[in-house]
Amino acid sequence: MSNVMGANVMGANAVGLDLSLTGTGVARADGTVAVIKTNPHAYPHPMERINAIMSQAFDHILGTDELPDLVVIEGYSYGSQSSQAHSIGQLGGVIKHELWKDRVPVAIVPPSNLKKYATGRGNADKVAMIIAARERLSYDGQENNEADALWLRQIGLHRLGDVRAVPLPQTHLAALQKVEWPADLVDLHPAPPVPNEISETKETAA
Gap between the Cα atoms of 30 and 86, Å rounded? 31
Which domains does the chain show, CATH number per domain?
14-188 (3.30.420.10)
Residues 14-64: tens digit of each pLDDT: 999 999 999 999 999 999 999 999 998 999 999 999 999 999 999 998 876
- Is residue 107 within 8 Å of residue 185, measured between CB atoms? yes
pLDDT of residue 76: 85
pLDDT of residue 200: 38
- Is residue 36 within 8 Å of residue 92, measured between CB atoms? no
pLDDT of residue 1: 60
pLDDT of residue 185: 76
pLDDT of residue 30: 92
Which are the contacts of 122, defined by CB distance < 8 A and separation ≥ 6? 112, 113, 115, 116, 175
pLDDT of residue 56: 95
pLDDT of residue 80: 56
pLDDT of residue 77: 74
CA angle 191, 199, 121 (to 5 degrees): 70
| pLDDT averaged over 10-residue windows placed end to end, the chain, 206 residues | 44 91 95 94 93 95 82 82 75 95 95 98 97 97 97 96 94 95 74 52 36
Gap between the Cα atoms of 168 and 13, Å rounded? 20
Gap between the Cα atoms of 22 and 85, Å rounded? 12
Gap between the Cα atoms of 34 and 146, Å rounded? 6
pLDDT of residue 186: 62
